[in-house]
Amino acid sequence: MSSASRPVYLKLRDQIAAAIIDGTYPEGALLPSVRAFASEQGANPLTVAKAYQAFQDDGLVRVQRGVGMYVAPGAASTLRASERQAFLAEEWPEVAAKLQRLGLRAEDLLAAV
């Protein structure tokens, strides 16, 4: 599924997942409120709530009533593993095919970094 055709809540979920993985929201950190994140992103609060619910369903956040959602212990490593698996299954085959078409080798890629 191309990025343009992905539902907004999944794009928001990906954005939050990336922030958890890169440490912007470390384990134990309070995530922005639904309203604050919606305002920051120019999104509907119900859409943000749906993205947050996905994290809750997966056990990646814990909810403290009246306070908010906190990043659960192990969330970053769990997300990193699932994002890796998704990349290898969904994106890598297309990238690998393009590299082959262009005649690029691993050495070429490493030299470009």
CATH number at residue 33: 1.10.10.10
Do the beta carbons of residue 37 and residue 48 sit within 8 Å? yes
| pLDDT on residue 19 | 97
pLDDT at res. 2: 55
Expressed as residue numbers, the domain containing 13 is 3-112
> Residue 21 has what pLDDT?
97
pLDDT for the residue 1: 55
pLDDT at position 48 is 95
Q: Specify the number of domains making up the chain.
A: 1
66 DSSP 8-state letter: T
pLDDT score recorded for residue 113: 84
CB 53 within 8 A of CB 10: no
Mean pLDDT in order along the chain per 10 residues (113 residues) = 78 95 97 95 95 95 94 97 95 94 92 88
